[in-house]
Structure 1
């Protein structure tokens, strides 16, 4: 069976699909993965054939705000939402569809698997008469700009002759890596859902020295704001709050913030530009993070309590879901202070109810069908 996986450029868009792509390859399927040039090296490090297609959301956004005066992030919400609607609802889908159409004509895959925001791949596949499945990258969440994006998607879908809603895969099967207990009720009621266990994937690399075989009697907190939402002030405040506790802190500053920007840190804090997160999580006791889908799902699978500091996009919805599941606390707005971080982190580490809920959620994740099982069954589902 010939499979083509597709994703918009971005860690959160590409990486959740890689475990299933690898499993499909290992099952004997012919597999390619189309995404932007920036992320092809990561795909190829997983042993998958990479195919360039589309532009990144960042490139599309910067093209849309070119010529505007001042910082576009300071635009009134209604203007910013219109821009995001054009980016995700029109610019990105058209760019990807245009690039992927000749690929589909040349490779003639039996199935196209597209990540849940990559409508352009669905448009091109449907126009070519090729079956396609959507693939979530986390909980299906409502964004602040959601209605603008939804309206633009509907208009662009009509241009391609496609009906239905992007959130539910335009009526096609949806490979869903979010545990059912924390998934959107509306999505569960409407989608043709195929559950797939979320399996973390990181670019191969070594864990920081001293992580493996460390003394587990002393807690280790892992702090990250992910790859797109780096904020020096937020990291510094969180570091101050965590360092006040009798534990060690490992901080992944990410590609947006240089380690040197955080200056001197307390002796129980270690700064790293990058860590292989999927390999790290089994070694930590608390995850303090932005609420990105990859980190949220990774903590679910590892059975870890979470302190969520949402910065934007779907992160508020992810934080709410984790709190409602009993495995997390969140801090936002004026409630986010170093003192609040200290208090909440201490409580999360000591709360047996949180620990029990995190363990139960990890068991739910472990019971979901593994990527290898789903990959082996794909031919019978097309």
Structure 2
């Protein structure tokens, strides 16, 4: 069986779909993963053959229209969601164009697309093969899908479609207790943390005497993008009497300057270090959040992007996290929240409950068997 995975343009959206791709490959299937050229090393780092479909980055599509005219990011929350959807639609249009010549020669039997990778349903419809939609976090706003569909009107018309093709199967990695009430029917799957690895050092898998707190703003941080968010988080948490881990790409680490002796900084394998942490403090990135959940770690969530507020609220309501809105993330409020979660065992108990529920879900192997059956029946 030939399986084409279609990913987005950042580590988080690639890591979420990599375990299923690895499983299918290990079962003997031929598996490729399509993504922008700038993340080929990230895809290859997961052991999957990478296929470049566009030389532009995902952010290039977010901040310029199809004619190359700059697009300003709006400040209104609703408009920001539409902005994101339109940008992802432009990214999908370019990816779809890049996938056509590739699939003329390598004809997949199945297309698996990460949520927001809207080129996946397009190329599946073009080829007439089954399409599987794979969640990349705890759920995206419906408005993003609608805005992307509007942006992709020319591509849909070329396929004789009036709306985005529905998936033959939806694979969800959100545990049942935290799914939205209106979530669609799904094949549930256990979330397996994945990330780019680095040589393991003893401290990574052995916690010290003080509580270990990990701070991150995600894998996309650069000198030009989101470094201010990470710097702010570090400054606000840095005064706590803890062992502080700062997860940041090496290229951006120097921007944080000299740090105290109780701080370790750099590209950290989150799947390795998370299980030794007492607390995660972050931007509510989907994979960071799910990795913390899978390891039973309480979390302080600051949802800097409007569309992540929904699932930050769900985990907070469950009792495994606390959420601080970006406007309220003062040093005092953030330190107070960290101290509360470190001191109150209820948060760790609830986080452990989530982790146990996730461990009980079907494995990627079980889901791979269902995909084999889907193709065989088709």
User: Would the TM-score normalized by the shorter structure come out above 0.5?
Assistant: yes
Q: Does 1:225 align with 2:203?
A: no
TM-score of the superposed pair, with normalisation by structure 1? 0.87
What is the alpha-carbon root mean square deviation over aligned residues?
2.7
After superposition, give the CA deviation of every residue in 1:209-240 in whole Å (9 maximum; x if it has no partner).
6233333x421000000023654444344334
Say if 1:231 and 1:132 are closer, same or farther in 2 by CA, change over 3 A: closer
2-structure distance, mates of 1:66, 1:164 = 26
Structure 1, unaligned stretches of length 5 or more?
A: none
Say if 1:38 and 1:240 are closer, same or farther in 2 by CA, change over 3 A: closer
After superposition, give the CA deviation of every residue in 1:142-179 in whole Å (9 maximum; x if it has no partner).
277665345435675354234655xxx71421111111
Query: Which residue is 1:58 aligned to?
Result: 59
1-structure distance, mates of 2:144, 2:106 = 36
Could you tell me how far 1:296 is from its partner in structure 2? 0.8
Query: Which residue is 1:87 aligned to?
Result: 87
1-structure distance, mates of 2:253, 2:205 = 23
Say if 1:3 and 1:184 are closer, same or farther in 2 by CA, change over 3 A: same
Query: Which residue is 1:173 aligned to?
Result: 169
Query: Which residue is 2:108 aligned to?
Result: 109
- Indicate conservation of the 8 Å contact 2:212/2:244, yes or no: yes
Query: Which residue is 1:367 aligned to?
Result: 360
Say if 1:86 and 1:314 are closer, same or farther in 2 by CA, change over 3 A: closer
Could you tell me how far 1:57 is from its partner in structure 2? 1.9
Query: Which residue is 1:126 aligned to?
Result: 125
After superposition, give the CA deviation of every residue in 1:243-275 in whole Å (9 maximum; x if it has no partner).
3332111012336x7323223333322222x11
- Indicate conservation of the 8 Å contact 1:200/1:298, yes or no: yes
Say if 1:83 and 1:74 are closer, same or farther in 2 by CA, change over 3 A: closer
Q: Does 1:247 align with 2:239?
A: no
Query: Which residue is 1:283 aligned to?
Result: 276
1-structure distance, mates of 2:253, 2:167 = 45
Structure 2, unaligned stretches of length 5 or more?
A: none
- Indicate conservation of the 8 Å contact 1:16/1:200, yes or no: yes
Say if 1:143 and 1:23 are closer, same or farther in 2 by CA, change over 3 A: same
After superposition, give the CA deviation of every residue in 1:256-303 in whole Å (9 maximum; x if it has no partner).
x7323223333322222x111122211211000100110111111001
Q: Does 1:264 align with 2:253?
A: no
- Indicate conservation of the 8 Å contact 2:238/2:244, yes or no: yes
For these two proteins, the number of residue pairs brought into alignment is: 370
Say if 1:258 and 1:326 are closer, same or farther in 2 by CA, change over 3 A: same
Residue of structure 2 aligned with 1:330, choices 301, 323, 342: 323
1-structure distance, mates of 2:3, 2:302 = 37
